A = this chain, B = another copy of it.
Amino acid sequence: MEATVKEKYMLRAIELSNISVEKGGGPFGAVVVCNGEIIAEAHNQVTLTNDPTAHAEVVAIRAAAQKLGTFDLSHCEVYTSCEPCPMCLGAMYWARIQCFYFGNTKLDADSIGFSDAFIYDELSKSFAERKMPAYPLMRDVAFEVFEKWKNKEDKTEY
Contacts and interface: CB of A to CB of B under 8 A. Distances in A.
Interface of A: 6-7, 10-11, 13-14, 17-18, 21, 24, 26-27, 46-47, 50-53, 55, 58, 61-62, 65-66, 69-73, 79, 81-83, 85-105, 108-109, 111-113, 115, 118-120, 122-124, 132-139, 141-143, 145-150, 152, 154-158
Contacts of A53: 53, 58, 61-62, 91, 94-95
A8 to B, nearest CB: 10
B70 A50 contact: yes
A146 B10 contact: no
Contact of A104 (B70, B98, B143): B143
